[in-house]
Amino acid sequence: MKKIILVISLFLVSVSYSLAKQEYIDSLKTIDPELRKYFPRWKVCEPDLQYQIYQAFQMLGFSQEQLDMQSIEVLASPKSIRDRVYEVLLLNCGSASLNSRELDRELKTIVGYLSGSDRYNRFNREWQKGERDYCYVEIPPETPVRADQGAAIRDYFAPTNKRQALTMSLFDQTLKIGATDFWIQNKTGNDQIGYPYYTAGESKVILKRPLYVNNDPATNKNTPYLINAYLGGTYRITTGLSNSNGMFSWLPERSLNTDPGGKLIFGMDVHMPFHPEAGIHVNIEAPINTTDESGIDLEKFGQTMLRPSVDFRRNDIRNGDPTYVATGVLPILQTTGQVTAFYNLWLNKRKAENYFRFDLGISYAEIREYMYYTENVDLTGDDVPELVYDKMTTNAEGLNLYHPDEFADWLFAKVEYRNQAVFPFSLSLQYSNQIMLARAYMPLFGDWLLLEAKYATPLRDAYEFEVENFFIISPVIRIAID
């Protein structure tokens, strides 16, 4: 009799435990996301398997608005020690989800692939039980579960939804200082006019500070501030002047320079209060001082050759004086600026994984030629020069000033697409200064190490100081702290 009572008691305990466990698993649809982060999770990125799951959810009656084939996430219990197979607890397709009981009943074959208990790739002869032989991306356990991996931000490398952020590449170094939303950025090149990286001969330091908070709870998630201001300055760089050796030996040399006296930068983004996704962008970069004539260190400047068809002469009393010799032309990038209207578009604001930005307006770029000459100074009067000076001047005939003089020169247009569903990648195409600039980035490891590439080419005849086809690629380190 005692044995019978003991057996019945154990049976009731085991049934109660099973029911409690099943009730817990079935409740995973509504469990606090902060608790789910301790479970193994991954995103499915195998196209055929994504489609199968998407079709299965459709057949089960979920609406198309709920489903997203690019946002399929698996939540599982740890692998079994015995057979090294996961137990799938929850499967999300967009905002729709199925728990373990529903999965066992409706999607048993697909669950076998997802868990590693069955082989997905029938051509994989080396497959072993417990191996997931399809494309997937692990979600680190310390990262809280979200309905999507995206965030309503306008710049993936300067995320406004993070407390602190740091991004480093050849092109940009960006730092966010705590919760102040104060940004410091160092940028190399002038992408706005189509001269990426060292082809502009300049780098710039920019401080960004929000001026007006968006207090509308319906829109302040993706547009936390209605007005942002930029202030900074440019400085001359020597990168790209001599690429015969070193890491840039495969890249063309440049001859364009920035103004040796530096430039002042001012900019502002103004979002429309009634529709913050739209707004106006204003940016201007102007020389601090006007440089008419100064001494230079030629090793730190790019130059083009004297044009044989042009007789370069100084416009002063020393015309024809043999104490100076014109030896080259220095193209100097001076005033640039843009005034554009922009629109930020998230295809689904609830799941900000697919983002577009459109810019349309006018752009201005001014490049002025300086004559580079050598001046021989005779201090003793014996016609033997004791000092030799290298100088630059605009006070000479035959020099050009490049600036917009037709509609195509003024036009600025840009479109950018970003996806953060499984792999954070982006593509953009820009037309400015009659130059096409394409930019793309993609991840190498997770969302902290990426690869960014830029390609620029003039759509008109290239000027002497321009690189006709410039392509460069750089690793990007992105560190973001919530």
Distance (Å, rounded) from C-alpha 26 to C-alpha 12? 21
pTM of the complete model: 0.72
**Are residue 294 and residue 413 in the same domain, yes or no?**
yes
The range of the structural domain enclosing residue 125 comes to: 20-139
Distance (Å, rounded) from C-alpha 65 to C-alpha 96? 9
Measure Cα distances from 448 to 46, 140, 408, 425 in Å: 22, 12, 39, 12
∠ CA(379), CA(383), CA(389), 5° rounding?
Answer: 55
**Are residue 417 and residue 374 in the same domain, yes or no?**
yes
DSSP bridge pairs for 440: 427, 453
107 within 8 A of 58, measured Cβ to Cβ: no
For position 35, what pLDDT does the model report? 61
Return the beta strands (E) in 216-323 as ranges. 225-236, 257-258, 263-272, 275-287, 293-295
User: At a CB cut-off of 8 Å and minimum separation 6, what does 106 contact?
Assistant: 56, 60, 98
Ranges in the chain, pLDDT < 50: 1-28, 30, 143-149, 317
**Are residue 134 and residue 169 in the same domain, yes or no?**
no
**Are residue 59 and residue 205 in the same domain, yes or no?**
no
> Looking at the domain assignment, is residue 15 inside a domain?
no
476 within 8 A of 450, measured Cβ to Cβ: yes
Count of the separate structural domains present in the chain: 2
329 within 8 A of 369, measured Cβ to Cβ: yes
> Looking at the domain assignment, is residue 198 inside a domain?
yes
From the list 470, 467, 463, the residue with the least C-alpha distance to 307 is 463
**Are residue 312 and residue 179 in the same domain, yes or no?**
yes
> Looking at the domain assignment, is residue 300 inside a domain?
yes
147 within 8 A of 421, measured Cβ to Cβ: no
**Are residue 128 and residue 184 in the same domain, yes or no?**
no
345 within 8 A of 357, measured Cβ to Cβ: yes
User: At a CB cut-off of 8 Å and minimum separation 6, what does 340 contact?
Assistant: 280, 281, 359, 360, 361, 362, 363, 412, 414
For position 91, what pLDDT does the model report? 92
Distance (Å, rounded) from C-alpha 19 to C-alpha 122? 37
For position 264, what pLDDT does the model report? 96
